[in-house]
Chains A and B, each alone.
Chain A
Amino acid sequence: QKEVEQNSGPLSVPEGAIASLNCTYSDRGSQSFFWYRQYSGKSPELIMFIYSNGDKEDGRFTAQLNKASQYVSLLIRDSQPSDSATYLCAVGGYNNNDMRFGAGTRLTVKP
């Protein structure tokens, strides 16, 4: 069984701080890694994807991947109250139908 694990939270950070969200996965053959944001009652929206070891930055968001440790993280700099949501980690193989989602981490950014 291919597992994707996330701390359910809630993770609470003050406005302007860095939020760090973590995800581990069990399948060493995983090739693609995604972070989605899901507001309460809404569908997930894609924030970032990463395929190679290292860091990938997009605005206030940085995805970090360490395949040897089977670990992927998302950093949110200068956190805003509008970042308060559940963040889903998704891990996929080479095939498009092989994506597995974690249960999500709920983030609260306090003004």
Chain B
Amino acid sequence: SQTIHQWPATLVQPVGSPLSLECTVEGTSNPNLYWYRQAAGRGLQLLFYSVGIGQISSEVPQNLSASRPQDRQFILSSKKLLLSDSGFYLCAANRGLISMDEQYFGPGTRLTVT
């Protein structure tokens, strides 16, 4: 079974500061990787997904970016945070070669932009 690690667990950052969130996956090769954001009391918004190293697809235009430097590593970044970037950031993964596969989530990073 796969295990997803995320860090940091919580983060408080001022507006205009940079951001780097990291996600790593154990227990599966060639996973599909996903970044979601969940605002308070809201559903999950898909931000980015990746089907392989260096392959990133963006779902919504924003000041965030993602990178996948290794097969099991996914990074979410921003050069300048906005207040609206506050939320619960979740990394998810599923098996890349299996269609309609369920997604499993990491523990999340709670980001507060002040």
Interface residues of A (CB under 8 A from B): 4, 31-32, 34, 41-46, 49, 51, 88, 90, 92-97, 99-104
Contacts and interface: CB of A to CB of B under 8 A. Distances in A.
Nearest to B50: A97
A13 to B, nearest CB: 21
Nearest to A33: B100
Given A31-B100, A43-B105, A95-B99, A101 B57 contact: no
7 contacts: A31-B100, A41-B110, A42-B107, A44-B105, A46-B104, A96-B32, A96-B51
B96 interface: yes
B100 A94 contact: yes
A104 B34 CA distance: 19
Contacts of B52: none
B70 interface: no
B43 A88 contact: yes
B99 A94 contact: yes
Nearest to B90: A43
B105 A45 contact: yes
B44 interface: yes
Interface in B59-114: 90, 94, 96, 98-108, 110
A34 B94 CA distance: 13
Given A43-B107, A97-B51, A92 B100 contact: yes
